[in-house]
Structure 1
Amino acid sequence: MKIQLHNPKREVELTGPLRASELCKQLRLNRESVLLIRGDELVTGDALLQEADTVEVRPVISGG
């Protein structure tokens, strides 16, 4: 599967299927500090990601 990361912007290829939470562990990302997006859909930690998926990883940004 293709993983598109931001900050810094780069692409990573991983073998699937795997759960979204496992993807974060493999990439050493804190699951609570990133959003995983597949297509136009936000992905939950228990979602199963397939080999053919493209997943965008965006940092969570808050402000006021």
Structure 2
Amino acid sequence: MKFSKQFNGYQSEITQFINELKVKNPALEQEQLAGRALLWDKTPIDLDSQLRTDNSRVAQQPYVYQNEH
């Protein structure tokens, strides 16, 4: 039973909507990539600076509102 060959021309309503949206706004995919780059794609971490940052941290007191005086 091969179902994939039987329904070659079928497109769901969602697929049709997305295709129409892409035709109306051709820059949509570029805008999506720019938004992703802005929010999610981060620069690689420099391991030397990460190690220096970790080593330079000052230990926090267990109860921050209590002074040692």
How does the TM-score come out when normalised to structure 2? 0.22
Higher helix share: 2
Q: Which has the higher contact order (CA 8 A, sep 6+)?
A: 1
Which of structures 1 and 2 has the bigger CA Rg? 2
How does the TM-score come out when normalised to structure 1? 0.22
